[in-house]
Amino acid sequence: MKNEWPLWEIFIRGQHGLSHRHVGSLHAPDAEMAVKNARDVYTRRNEGVSIWVVEAKHITATAPGEKGPLFEPSESKVYRHPTFYDIPEEVGHM
């Protein structure tokens, strides 16, 4: 039983023109079969209009340990958000 099909990550674009979104994974011998299987497994109820498949081993991810140094710096930068600024009511909608 050592002839396992590789693992593919599946991304689907939903009906409403949004970006492709990761929906899950599956095993398939090649990309073509991965697309076919993804259609059967992840779009049985009109969930999508387009499918991407990527072999899992080709994905590079951030490590959980890097979470702090990578993402915490943005927490203190409140001035990047529109709500940081007080605009006088007389100015109107902005």
In the complex, the residues that contact other proteins under the rule CB under 8 A are: 1-5, 7, 24-27, 29-30, 33, 40-41, 44-45, 61, 63-64
Q: Phi first, then psi: give them for residue 5, nearest 5 degrees.
A: -65, 145
The nearest distance, CB 43 to other proteins, in angstroms, is: 11
Give CA separation, 89 vs 78, 82, 93, 94, in Å: 21, 15, 8, 10
Q: Least distance from C-beta 77 to other proteins, angstroms? A: 23
Give whichever of 72 and 86 is closer to other proteins, judged by the CB atom: 72
What separation, in Å, do the N-terminal and C-terminal C-alpha atoms of the chain show? 64
Cβ proximity to other proteins, 64 vs 82, nearer residue:
64
Which residue shows structure tokens 């599946």?
10
Q: How far is the CB of 82 from other proteins (least distance, A)?
A: 28
